[in-house]
Chains A and B, each alone.
Chain A
Amino acid sequence: MLERAVEQQLEVGQQPIVESGYDVSIKQFTLREIIIRRFLAHPLAKWGAVGLTLIIVACYGAPLWHILFPNYIQAPEDFDVLAAGSAPSLTHLFGTDSLNGHDIFSQVLYGGRLSLIIGLGSMVLATTLGVLVGAFSGYFGGFADALMMRVTDVLLTVPALLIVPLAARIFGADNPFYIAMIFGFLSWQSIARIVRSQFLSLREMQFTESARALGVPPARIILRHLLPNAVGPIVVAFTLGIAGNIVLEAFISFLGFGIQPPEVSWGSILAGAEEYLIDGNWWWITFPGLAVTATVLCVNFIGDGLRDAFDPKIVN
């Protein structure tokens, strides 16, 4: 009985409470192990992780599927004008588009590669920028902090949805690398704010004070003592940001300011669909959008799971 109780407590990552007199060997968990266990115990997060893995394998394995199943998966540059606008069938699982007769299923698989990497790459850049700005602001404070926060405020003021197409127009964002850069430069503000607010409280803690008293240089205090303590909210914001930027990419490419043919992303598949909507070929807009929704749903599940896993207030 007692062993089961201990096991149950271990499962949720708590320190087991054992009455004295019993000899039970207890494995000590590190904080990291506790967080991983709590994440895996989160039902939605688990399914989100499984779903996202499947999507990643399906998309990045597309060239392999093309070789293995040439009847079902076309290369992205292949099309069949004679089959243009055909409804979903066994040969074209998601149907074909009305313009050139691209197989939508293959396009969705191949297109996912750019959509996912843009979402990830942009947030890697945004997180780096956000952590740099937020850490500097929060740790040093003063005039630099006031100035940076004012700029952050203003950048949050101008609607991103208007600035992104404009930036895409300015820098000629037909290159996926540029798109990721633009998204990154426009989504670091919220992370900077999160890091700053974390640092504002962390820098007043006693361990920071003792580190400072020992003469540890600021850069080392920030990297070794403060940043690891702020990692939870950063990881959550990073994850949710990926979801946001996948949607944003879809919108920008849909408008025609983003990924251009012959390259494909989930948004660029939709770009031509609007014009042919009147023909009633529902499969052209439905499936790429479903791919975006499913991916974002999985990423959001993971984000929620991470939030709960890092939250010290929640005890199962």
Chain B
Amino acid sequence: MIGYAARRLLQTIPTIFVMSIILFGIMQLIPGGPMAALAFNSHQSYAAKLAIIHRWGLDLPIYLQYLKWVGAMFTGDWQNSFFLNQPVNKVIFARLPATLLLMTVGYLLTELLAIPAGILAALKRYSFFDQFVTFFAYVGNSMPTFWLGLMLLMVFGVFLQILPSSGVIDIRVTGAPFLTPEYNQWFSQHPLTGVLDVAKHIILPATTLAVVGVAADSRFVRASMLDAIHQDFVRTARAKGVPERTVILKHTLRNALLPVITNIALELPILFSGAVVTERIFTWPGMGQLFFQALEGYDYPLMMGILFVSGLLVIFFNVLADFAYAIADPRISYA
């Protein structure tokens, strides 16, 4: 198992390498290159522009530029963001917790709804509940995530006005933006108010993520459960008089949830994309929102940084999925 884990981790190195080349290539394609953001700055003299080109190493051959960039990424010198004027890695890692928080809550909500719904739908196959879950899954799968977010925002934020429509905290309550030192200090003094405040803000974005997630996962759980329920050992258990409750809970469920676990891990990258969209709609101060800001401002270093971190996250999620598979299914040997 440890050997397998080590090998799987080593496999990520070439993937990260190819990813860095592709990212670097994409960035070279932007018309005007890294200078695009400064292209229309009339206050800047030609000499000043040349000085910047030299300082950023843009007059070097392309492979040296790439090596320089890789070296800088390794040493943690990710440049300053153009419009925030702060180091990119600092900006990104300040935004990462909000994204991960949204993903975690959306995820838990999804599974808490999807797993029982899928199991019930499978147990009461072709019942009204089953048909309802199927219908919900089809519609949920077909709705654009961003539109669902907008609709929820409109109903609960604008018409009913019972839930906040943007941000992660109410600054009138906390007195400081999310996760700043002042906020952390305030939070340690008012933990309950703080948690309730965040909870109130997370309901709409997390529900948006959950609707899409439940649509996909409930179908998967149902199929997996139906698969397990028709196995021979279930019939044997019933035949020898095991109570139905035990048959379902001990024999069927454990086998049915095995593929579900791996599927859950495999879905993490999709969840990440969903979080990016949701953040944009609910102005959730995470990485997704930051990316769209960077995009609008041609913020070259920030875009590079976010794409790189997102790529790393997805690779990490994929490794997690493989680990989950190896642990959950003892029949597969990875010696």
> Residues of A with Cβ closer than 8 Å to B?
150-151, 153-155, 157-163, 165-167, 169-170, 243, 247, 250-251, 254-255, 257, 270, 273-274, 277-278, 280, 282, 285-286, 289, 292-294, 296-297, 300-301
Contact = CB atoms under 8 A, between A and B. Distances in A.
Contacts of B315: 157
A162 B276 contact: yes
B203 interface: no
Majority SS at the chain A contact face: helix
B159 interface: yes
B158 interface: yes
18 contacts: A151-B18, A154-B19, A157-B15, A158-B19, A159-B269, A161-B276, A162-B307, A162-B310, A163-B307, A165-B295, A166-B26, A170-B29, A170-B31, A274-B150, A277-B150, A293-B143, A297-B138, A300-B138
A208 to B, nearest CB: 30
A303 to B, nearest CB: 10
A143 B281 CA distance: 44
B79 interface: no
Given A254-B146, A280-B159, A158 B22 contact: yes
A161 B303 CA distance: 13
A9 B176 CA distance: 71
A255 B150 CA distance: 13
Interface residues of B, number: 44
Contacts of B153: 277
Given A160-B273, A255-B280, A153 B15 contact: yes
Given A277-B154, A278-B158, A289-B150, A158 B295 contact: no
A292 B314 CA distance: 28
A254 B298 CA distance: 19
B23 interface: yes
A250 B142 CA distance: 12
Given A162-B307, A300-B138, 13 more contacts: A150-B14, A157-B311, A158-B307, A159-B310, A162-B276, A163-B26, A166-B295, A169-B295, A285-B150, A289-B147, A293-B139, A296-B144, A300-B141
Contacts of B298: 169
Nearest to A296: B142
A163 B317 CA distance: 18
Contacts of A250: 144, 146-147
Contacts of A289: 143-144, 147, 150-151
A153 to B, nearest CB: 6
Contacts of A167: 26
